[in-house]
C-alpha cells in the first residue's frame, strides 16, 4: 500500500464517519442504521452466542506524526515520525460456573510507515497474540475475594507505577502475566495481593499466531518478577487512602537484537518500593491528590535510594461546561553524579507509558529508554472543559527540569544546565456516537539548557485517533 493510498484511506474513513453522524443526533443516526435490518439481532447474537458465553470486539485507527522526537537536532532532519496504526481486538468470556470464568482476548495490530526512512515501506500484517487469557474467580476460597490467574490487565491507582507490563510494543498491549487476589477487607476497603512473572520475550508463555520475532520479539526490557501489596481505604467521606509495597526483580536479557532495542536498556536490579496515596475532595470546588514513594535496593550493582511524588490540586467550576483547572507537581529523583557506589535515580517500575506527554517519552531514549521517565521536576497547569455536548478539550502547559545533570556532556546532554524545556499539550476528544469516539492530540516542545545547543530544535507530535467498540 503506497503512502498516498494510506493517507487517502484514513481521510476516507474520517469523511464517512463525520458525514454519517455529525449532521444528526447520534441516537437518531443509530436508529436509522437499525431500521429495516437485522442489525440488533446480529449484535445480540455476537455478544451472547450461547448461554454462558459473551464476546466483544473493537477497532482502533491512528495516524501519527512527529518532528524532532529523539534529540531535537537543529542541524538536520532528524527524529521524524509519520506512520499509521491499525488495531483490532476480539474478547470472549466463558462462564464455567457461577463463580468461575475464563476470559481471553486476541489482539492484532499492524503499522504502515512513511517515516523514518529505515522502517519497512511495504505493509506487514504482523502477528496476532493473546493480550488476555485468565481464569477468574468470585468468592475465592470461600472468602469475600476475587482472583485472576494468567494474562491480565493490572492498573493500580492512576497507573503512576503500575499500568504497562509490555512497554516495548507501545500501546498495542499492556498485559501482565500474573496472579492477583483482591480481598474485600471491609465494605469500603480492599487489599490486592499480586505476583508478577513478566518475561522479556513475548512468546515465553504464549507464542503469537504468525509470530514476527524481528518486530516484537521483546515486550519489556528484561525478565521481571514482582510482588505487590496494595491497600485501598474509602471509609472516610470524600477521602481515599492507598498504601502499598512493591517488589521488583529485574534480570537482564543478553540476546537483544540491536535492530530492536539497545542492549543497554536491559538492566539488573532489585527494587523495594514503599508508597501511598491521599486523595480528598475538600469541598464542592476543591480537590487534592498526592502520591509519594521511596525506593531502596540495588540497581546495576549500586545501592538504590530514590524518591518520587506526584501531586495535583483541582478546582471544579461546576458550570455547564464542566470546567476544571489543575496545578500539578511531579518529582522523580535523579542520580547524583558526585555520589559513589549509589544511585538516586527513581525507577518508574511498571509505569513506563506516556502519562502526560506522547512526545517527551521519546527524549528518554538515550538517557534511560523510551518511556522510562525519571530525573525530573515537572510543574504544570491545565484546563479541561466541554467544547460542546459531545466534545471535550484538555489543555496543559508544562515546565520541565532535570533533578540532576547526571551525565554532563554525554550524547545530547549539555555540560551544565538543568532546564529541560517547555511543553504545551492539547487533547480534543469527541464522542461521535455511543460506540464511536475519536481524539486529536497536538504537542509542542521547546528544549532548554539541559540539552546541547545543537539539540535545542523545537519538536512536535500530532495524532489522530478513532475507535469503534462493537
307-365-87 Cα angle (round to 5)? 105
- Per-residue pLDDT for 153 more than 50? yes
Higher pLDDT, 33 or 460: 460
Residue 19: predicted pLDDT: 44
Domain-embedded: residue 453: yes
- Per-residue pLDDT for 318 more than 90? yes
- Per-residue pLDDT for 214 more than 70? no
Backbone angles phi, psi at 214, to 5 degrees: -80, -10
Residue 74: which pLDDT band, with cuts at 50, 70 and 90? low
Higher pLDDT, 196 or 210: 196
Give Cα separations from 96 to 21, 45, 149 (angstroms).
40, 20, 15
Residue 204 CB neighbours (<10 A): 13
Domain-embedded: residue 202: yes
- Per-residue pLDDT for 122 more than 80? no
Residue 13: which pLDDT band, with cuts at 50, 70 and 90? low
- For the stretch 125-145, what's the b/e string if a residue is b when 16 or more beta carbons lie within 10 angstroms of its beta carbon? ebbebbbbbbebbeebeeeeb
DSSP, collapsed to helix, strand or coil, labels residue 362 as: helix
pLDDT of 437-463, one tens digit each? Answer: 999 999 999 999 999 988 888 999 999
CA 57 and chain centroid, separation:
20
Residue 5: predicted pLDDT: 45
Higher pLDDT, 73 or 45: 45
435-65-214 Cα angle (round to 5)? 90
Count of domains forming the chain: 1
Residue 95: predicted pLDDT: 98
- Per-residue pLDDT for 131 more than 60? yes
Domain-embedded: residue 18: no
Domain-embedded: residue 11: no
Domain-embedded: residue 109: yes
Residue 265: predicted pLDDT: 84
Higher pLDDT, 277 or 43: 277
Residue 23: which pLDDT band, with cuts at 50, 70 and 90? very low
Domain containing 386: what range?
A: 31-469
Residue 16: predicted pLDDT: 44
CATH number of the domain bearing residue 360: 2.40.160.100
- Per-residue pLDDT for 102 more than 90? yes
Q: Tell me the pLDDT of the chain averaged across its residues.
A: 90
Residue 258: predicted pLDDT: 47
Higher pLDDT, 197 or 114: 197
Higher pLDDT, 252 or 399: 399
pLDDT of 249-293, one tens digit each? Answer: 999 987 655 446 677 788 899 999 999 999 999 999 999 999 999
Residue 3: which pLDDT band, with cuts at 50, 70 and 90? low
Domain-embedded: residue 21: no
Domain-embedded: residue 47: yes
Residue 239: predicted pLDDT: 98
- Per-residue pLDDT for 29 more than 90? no
* Residues 361, 411 contacting (CB under 8 angstroms): no
In this prediction the pTM is: 0.90
Region 201-227 average pLDDT: 87
Residue 117: which pLDDT band, with cuts at 50, 70 and 90? confident
Residue 155: predicted pLDDT: 98
Domain-embedded: residue 190: yes
Backbone angles phi, psi at 301, to 5 degrees: 60, 25
Region 90-117 average pLDDT: 95
Region 368-389 average pLDDT: 96
Distance, first Cα to last Cα, the chain = 27
Q: DSSP letter string over 148-172?
A: EEEEE----TTSSSBS-S-GGGTTS
Residue 312 CB neighbours (<10 A): 18
Cell (9 digits) for 183 = 480481598
Residue 21: which pLDDT band, with cuts at 50, 70 and 90? very low
Residue 6: which pLDDT band, with cuts at 50, 70 and 90? low
Q: Please tell me whether the peptide bond between 116 and the residue prior to it is cis, using omega within 30 degrees of 0.
A: yes
Q: Whose grid coordinates read 466541554?
A: 386
Residue 24: which pLDDT band, with cuts at 50, 70 and 90? very low
Poorest-pLDDT segment among 40-49, 74-83, 244-253, 304-313:
74-83
Amino acid at each position: 500500500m503506497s503512502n498516498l493510498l494510506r493517507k487517502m484511506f484514513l481521510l476516507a474513513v474520517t469523511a464517512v464517519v463525520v458525514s454519517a453522524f455529525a449532521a444528526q443526533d447520534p441516537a437518531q443516526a443509530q436508529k436509522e442504521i437499525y431500521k429495516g435490518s437485522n442489525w440488533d439481532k446480529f449484535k445480540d447474537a455476537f455478544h451472547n452466542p450461547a448461554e454462558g458465553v459473551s464476546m466483544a470486539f473493537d477497532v482502533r485507527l491512528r495516524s501519527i506524526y512527529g518532528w524532532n522526537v529523539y534529540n531535537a537536532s537543529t542541524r538536520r532532519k532528524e527524529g521524524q515520525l509519520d506512520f499509521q496504526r491499525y488495531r483490532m481486538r476480539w474478547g470472549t468470556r466463558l462462564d464455567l460456573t457461577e463463580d468461575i470464568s475464563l476470559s481471553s482476548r486476541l489482539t492484532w495490530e499492524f503499522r504502515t510507515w512513511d517515516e523514518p526512512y529505515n522502517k519497512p515501506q511495504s505493509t506487514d500484517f504482523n502477528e496476532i497474540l493473546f493480550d488476555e487469557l485468565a481464569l477468574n474467580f468470585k468468592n475465592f476460597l470461600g472468602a469475600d475475594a476475587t482472583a485472576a490467574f494468567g494474562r491480565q490487565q493490572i492498573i493500580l491507582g492512576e497507573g503512576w507505577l503500575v499500568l504497562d507490563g509490555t512497554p516495548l510494543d507501545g500501546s498495542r498491549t499492556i498485559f501482565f502475566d500474573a496472579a492477583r487476589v483482591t480481598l474485600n477487607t471491609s465494605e469500603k476497603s480492599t487489599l490486592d495481593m499480586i505476583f508478577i512473572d513478566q518475561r522479556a520475550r513475548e512468546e515465553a508463555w504464549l507464542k503469537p499466531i504468525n509470530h514476527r520475532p524481528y518486530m516484537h520479539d521483546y515486550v519489556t526490557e528484561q525478565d521481571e518478577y514482582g510482588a505487590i501489596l496494595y491497600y485501598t481505604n474509602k471509609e472516610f467521606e470524600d477521602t481515599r487512602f492507598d498504601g502499598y509495597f512493591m517488589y521488583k526483580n529485574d534480570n537482564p536479557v543478553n540476546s537483544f537484537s540491536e535492530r530492536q532495542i539497545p542492549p543497554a536498556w536491559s538492566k539488573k536490579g532489585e527494587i523495594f518500593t514503599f508508597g501511598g496515596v491521599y486523595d480528598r475532595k475538600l469541598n464542592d470546588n476543591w480537590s487534592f491528590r498526592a502520591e509519594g514513594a521511596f525506593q531502596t535496593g540495588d540497581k546495576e550493582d549500586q545501592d538504590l535510594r530514590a524518591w518520587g511524588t506526584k501531586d495535583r490540586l483541582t478546582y471544579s467550576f461546576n458550570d455547564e461546561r464542566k470546567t476544571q483547572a489543575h496545578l500539578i507537581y511531579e518529582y522523580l529523583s535523579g542520580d547524583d553524579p558526585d555520589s559513589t557506589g549509589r544511585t538516586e535515580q527513581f525507577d518508574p517500575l511498571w509505569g513506563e507509558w506516556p502519562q502526560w506527554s506522547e512526545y517527551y517519552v521519546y527524549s528518554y531514549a538515550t538517557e534511560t529508554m523510551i518511556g522510562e521517565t525519571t530525573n525530573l521536576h515537572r510543574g504544570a497547569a491545565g484546563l479541561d472543559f466541554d467544547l460542546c455536548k459531545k466534545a471535550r478539550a484538555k489543555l496543559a502547559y508544562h515546565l520541565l527540569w532535570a533533578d540532576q545533570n547526571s551525565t554532563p556532556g554525554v550524547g545530547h546532554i549539555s555540560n551544565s544546565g538543568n532546564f529541560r524545556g517547555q511543553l504545551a499539550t492539547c487533547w480534543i476528544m469527541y464522542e461521535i456516537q455511543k460506540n464511536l469516539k475519536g481524539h486529536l492530540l497536538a504537542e509542542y516542545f521547546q528544549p532548554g539548557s539541559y540539552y546541547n545547543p545543537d539539540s535545542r530544535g523545537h519538536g512536535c507530535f500530532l495524532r489522530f485517533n478513532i475507535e469503534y467498540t462493537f
